[in-house]
């Protein structure tokens, strides 16, 4: 739960940042969500796995929009 929440907080902070700082924060957010997915496996925690997967996709989409 902590890693997923960290990822959300980093993504929100990235939305309030610009340039290289925003990119760095989004990369950290994606990494935090990936760490959550190591624990929240689809078989054991399907709801949380879906939640972390969605949050990872949101972070990666935001990162994609920022990169040239």
Q: Comparing 34-38, 39-43, 49-53, 64-68, which segment has the lowest mean pLDDT?
A: 64-68
Q: How does pLDDT run across 3-42, given as a tens digit for each residue?
A: 999 999 999 999 999 999 999 999 999 999 999 999 999 9
- What's the gap between Cα 30 and its chain centre? 4
Model confidence pTM above 0.85: yes
**Domain that residue 16 falls in:** 2-66
Q: Tell me how many domains the chain contains.
A: 1
Angstrom distances, CA of residue 17 to CA of 10, 13, 22, 47, 68: 10, 6, 5, 30, 17
Spatial distance between the Cα atoms of 68 and 54, rounded to a whole number of angstroms: 23
């Amino acid at each position: 739960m902590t890693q997923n929440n960290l990822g959300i907080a980093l993504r929100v902070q990235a939305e309030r940042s610009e340039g290289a700082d925003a990119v760095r924060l989004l990369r950290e957010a994606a990494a935090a969500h990936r760490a959550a997915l190591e624990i929240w496996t689809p078989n054991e925690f399907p709801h949380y796995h879906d939640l972390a997967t969605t949050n990872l996709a949101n972070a990666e989409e935001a990162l994609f929009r920022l990169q040239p």
